[in-house]
Amino acid sequence: MRYIILPLILMMITGMASMAQRTLSEGAVFYDVSVQTGSNQPQMADMFDGATAVLYLRGSLSRSELNSALGSTSTIFDHRNGSGLVLRDFGSQKLLIRMNRDNWADKNKKYEGIRFTSTGETKTIAGYSCEKAEAVLKDGTRFTVFYTREIVTENTEYDPQFKNLPGLALEYESIVGNLKVKYTASRISFDPVPMQKFEAPKAGSGYRELTYEESIRKNSGK
């Protein structure tokens, strides 16, 4: 009899775990942004003073926004067809940069082979139980991330740095120049996201369009 009961108990436990886990196929994650280290570039540090970030998801579509007093940067990508764009809006400077799948891979190549190691530390963020992991990039760069297993994303390609993470990142560090910036989730919404969030600005909206290669040359000063 016990040979029958034991598998039933295991099935019940597995079923309860899957019921507790929620899939985020459409919705948004809102993050507060804070600078963790100083900088000899005050303007860059000021960019993150009071900044917020939002991750929007809808099927294969993702949009990551960083909003500050100085302006905003948004990255939109459709992993189904490999097309994407970056929008930079800083006052009078408004740029639109289109990307194809190769551009997207080049933009995120530093995350290839990223490894996550659990530390055993846990805490609650935005009402969800999170586990701490240490990430190591192929160049030796390290950062920490707290993620929850209570939510998984239908679109696992929304951010290459978290592609292999077994849950949703609710707090993580990012290196921007010589700044260490921390993103901490304040709330999660499962409400529908308008399709307009993932569309390019209409003609006449004031954006100057660059190719991905042109944006690389512009950033390098060449």
Q: Where are the domains of the chain?
A: 24-220
Kindly state the average pLDDT of the residues 144-162. 94
> Residue 168: pLDDT above 60?
yes
Residue 220 — very low, low, confident or very high, per pLDDT cuts 50/70/90? Answer: low
Question: From CA 61, how far away is CA 46, in angstroms rounded?
Answer: 30
Residue 98, both tokens? 């289109």
Which pTM was predicted?
A: 0.85
Please say whether the beta carbons of 184 and 169 come within 8 A: no
Tens digits of residue pLDDT in 53-66: 999 999 999 999 99
> Residue 215: pLDDT above 80?
yes
Kindly state the average pLDDT of the residues 11-23. 57
DSSP secondary structure string for all residues of 152-196: EES-TTS-GGGTT-SSEEEEEEEEETTEEEEEEEEEEE-S---GG
Residue 172, both tokens? 């993580």
Tens digits of residue pLDDT in 170-201: 999 987 767 788 999 999 999 999 999 999 99
Please say whether the beta carbons of 128 and 170 come within 8 A: yes
Say which CATH class 24-220 falls into: mainly beta
Residue 36 — very low, low, confident or very high, per pLDDT cuts 50/70/90? Answer: confident
Kindly state the average pLDDT of the residues 90-110. 93
Lowest-confidence segment of 20-29, 37-46, 89-98 by average pLDDT: 37-46
pLDDT at 205: 87
Strands 168-176 and 72-78 turn out to be: unpaired
pLDDT: which is higher, 169 or 2? 169
Kindly state the average pLDDT of the residues 114-138. 96
HSE-up (13 A, CA, CB side) for residue 177: 15
Kindly state the average pLDDT of the residues 12-35. 76
pLDDT at 19: 46
Closest listed residue to residue 117, CA positions, set 150, 91, 90, 145: 145
